[in-house]
Amino acid sequence: MSNNFSAPRKLHWILLSAGVVLVSGCSRSSSSTAATGPTLPAGAQCILKSPHLEVGASSDLVVNGVTYTKTHQPDAPGPIELPITNPGPQPAGACRGNSQYQFGSGLYDITGPLGGNPTGHADFYGNVFPPQVPEGIHTRLYARAYAIASPCNGKRVLFISQDIMGVSVLERQTILARIAADPVLSQYYDSNNLMISGTHTHSAGGGFGIALGLPDLSATLPSLINTPALWVTSAVIGNNNFDADNFKVIVDGVVQAIRRAHANLETHPEGASIKLSIGQLLNANINRTPPGYQQNSSSERAAYINQDGRETNVDKRFLQLNLVRNNGSVVGVINWFGVHPTSMGNHNLLTSSDSKGYASLGFEKLMGTVYAPDGAGPLSGTDNFVAAFAQTDEGDSISDLFVFDKDVNGGNGPGQGVPIQFRGGTDDPYNFNQPGYKRGMPKATAISGTKQLAQALTQMAQGSALSGPVDYRYFNADFSADKVTDPVVLASLSYADLPANLYTPTKTTCTSAAGISQLNGGVNGLDFGAAGYACAASAPSPYLSQVRNGYNGLYNGVGHILAEKYDSHIEVPFNAVVAFDALTPALCLLTATLPQYGCQAEKPISPISLPGAIPSASPIPIQIFRIGNLAILGIPFEVTTMSARRLRKTVLDALSPVGVDTVVISGLSNDYQGYMATREEYTAQMYEGASTTFGPWQLAATQQESRKLALTMANNQAAPNGIAPPSASTGPASPITVDAPANFGNVVNDVLSNHTQGDTVDVSFVAGYPGNDLKTMSSYLYVERKNAQGAWNVVATDGRPELTFIWNSNPSFLNSEMNMAGSSTAQALWKIPMNTPAGTYRIRHAGVSRLSASQAPTPYEGISSTFKISGTPAECP
């Protein structure tokens, strides 16, 4: 196999303290390689010199004066995939050599309801164990849309990145129906040229159409038994039954973002270039499953060695599109960097867009982005900068840089290594008995988000103009039993230095099922299970000793099952290794005897995957956008690093003859179908392999179907017919949660009268249930500064990470059954930025109460006492 990459050829900017390396994208088909982009916005230098960039750039980890490791290995520059230098000629016609595109951007709020299961709404989706009941807002969630057209052929594409865990078929179908019913949008957009991707934050509400894969007790039990049974179950397992309120705000927000992007494009019909910039972001991600990656061919891995002579086992490429008009107006950026946005942790109870959203909000703040509701927003088509930090191949990539490091005594076995609350480079609370536990890990999120933001800022002024047409293809592949027969794909599947018996003559996908090792979770979000359980000892590289006795015991489970309900915690001891040692032989026997699962090979099928527990989903949406010499491959999987390398090569080989020189994967697009590991990684049955639901040849089938689709684009043919998407329908309406009578808006705990920069202002108000009004494109909280005229100017809202909104309620089983919120408070925590001017301030709470389901909600307002901020503001926040 050949690899379409090279070592960095032209270094434009090196931030040594962060290990940030920038490489300008270059291509034979590009019209320019000069750095001619816009100047950096005011405040950018504060990001580029942030101490967050230094985390992980040295061998030591020191937090609050305490050293936790001296053996961390910082990243060194290494090979990344750059545009190939010898693509074929672009097809003859009006678009050959085209470098002029029309484009527009738009964003809209998609923040869902708080309260989770106790109020009849969904818990967070992503970390199922333990359940995460949203109790406040760290940052708001947004959908970010980009419409891009090439006037030379009249085609356009619409790309959406949304701050939720993934995308459901139901969401996509509902959005398409809304587009079809719109007399304007329906002229331009349909299922073929609409790509919706999730950033994969685990701190966003579920219930939008992706099932948890757990038995539906209500189907078998009478309600008298089912209600308390669900109540008990929800103490251990997240509840993500359909949530009509969350679903509606997501769909409405995406459609509004689309309308704004479309209006922005139509208002600016003049063409402009789109710059592609490719950089290398170091010390921002690591591979969370080294034993899995090590199963890949040593000859294949040897192609990815960095300048320190170590393997680069996770993708460091940072690919960005810069959308800037000829007059210098910056419309937006879209970038792709593979890392799990799970920095807030699996114990966090605040709605958060996590690290990718943090970076988006930070960039948009620097550029003066307006977040305005209907009637006040940029629907007129005026430019309003939008920054999408989109998701790509993050399957085995995390930002917890110190997870595997040895402790200061050199230990990395069970119970050793860096303590879990310091593995993100901070002292954020992780255990439930630590103060601030429910507020997650905001400092770790800021570190990861700042690194991505700094890289995006450096690349905003860099890049080469895209050249060629806009084009698109889409179809649904049938993965129920997809046999791999493409000779080109088959020829790429085996490696001479690996056992031949791995590559069975018949290569086909299987009925979807999860493996038991999925219950371990990732090392960035541990669950009670253990990893590495397989039905056959076929892994090319021994791994079990490492898994059981090294890596700080991360693959042996947390040692207990944690039940959480209404601020109470119960730990039930559970030795996953002992339990899974006993259970695996029985599961392997069961797997082998069930015909539909026999081809799952090494995977012991998890009990939650047995017939009747979850539906078998086989239609796999595959989509390709072409924007000049760049191809964007949209697939519904979380793709591991090596899987992505192979898949990009497959698509690039098919499209390079017609002038495509770069491929990026848009993961979690148009649906969610779990993970995708290589055949070799699958043998070890770590988390990613156990979550590769269609069996060991899922990647090969995806390569085959993606190649099939790419060839239709290369040959100017229609997309394959594919199969019909599954039928999806919405569930029941969300319940109306009512409040107990109270003096809404009254101050419960007031502010202190004097503060200085760096302090945290704390105030709480008597509150109504926040779900009475989601405050879409608005806020529950406002920090206001008194101006010279005596009026109040807003300086912060709950959409920003420095102002945290917490809904403190008193849930109970009785209140939940009666759909009552009980007495509650709205708490504001404002971490005063270091560059805040001195002056007089206050905090205002805007809420809505509802005393009965038959009465209309009633707005109310609460205002704190004024307080002074003194001291000299710093240059940076």
Could you tell me which residues are annotated as the binding site? 200, 340, 638, 675
Q: Which residues contact 389 (CB under 8 A, 6 or more apart)?
A: 161, 199, 335, 337, 356, 357, 359, 360, 452, 456
Tell me whether the omega of the peptide bond preceding residue 130 falls within 30 degrees of 0, making it cis: yes
**C-alpha separations of 374 from 328, 457, 705, 776, 859 in Å:** 27, 30, 41, 10, 19
**C-alpha separations of 599 from 589, 595, 696, 697 in Å:** 13, 8, 8, 9
Residue of 106, 170, 87, 35 whose CA lies nearest to 626: 87
Distance in angstroms between the alpha carbons of the first and the last residue of the chain: 49
CA–chain centroid gap for 560, Å, is 27
| Identity of residue 80 | I
| Identity of residue 227 | T
| Identity of residue 152 | C
What residues are designated binding site for Zn(2+)? 200, 340, 638, 675
| Identity of residue 26 | C
Do the beta carbons of residue 634 and residue 623 sit within 8 Å?
Answer: yes
User: CA-to-CA distance for 635 and 55, rounded, in angstroms?
Assistant: 32
**C-alpha separations of 139 from 450, 799, 805, 821 in Å:** 15, 5, 9, 23
What is the SS3 assignment for 639-650?
ECHHHHHHHHHH
Q: How many CB atoms lie within 10 A of CB 607?
A: 14
Tokens 């794909």 locate to 489
User: CA-to-CA distance for 577 and 596, rounded, in angstroms?
Assistant: 28
Longest alpha-carbon distance in the chain: 80
The secondary element (H helix, E strand) that includes residue 246 is helix 244-267
Give me the sign of the Cα torsion angle 213, 219, 220, 225.
positive
65 CB burial (10 A radius; 0-12, 13-18, 19+): exposed
Cα torsion through 179, 184, 188, 194, rounded to 10 = -30
Q: Are strands 136-137 and 803-808 parallel, antiparallel or unpaired?
A: antiparallel
The secondary element (H helix, E strand) that includes residue 464 is strand 464-465
Backbone angles phi, psi at 645, to 5 degrees: -60, -45
User: CA-to-CA distance for 812 and 697, rounded, in angstroms?
Assistant: 47
- Helices and strands in the chain, H and E counts: 16, 37
- Tell me the DSSP string of 39-73: PPPTTHHHHHT-GGGGTTSSS-EEETTEEEES---
User: CA-to-CA distance for 232 and 117, rounded, in angstroms?
Assistant: 11
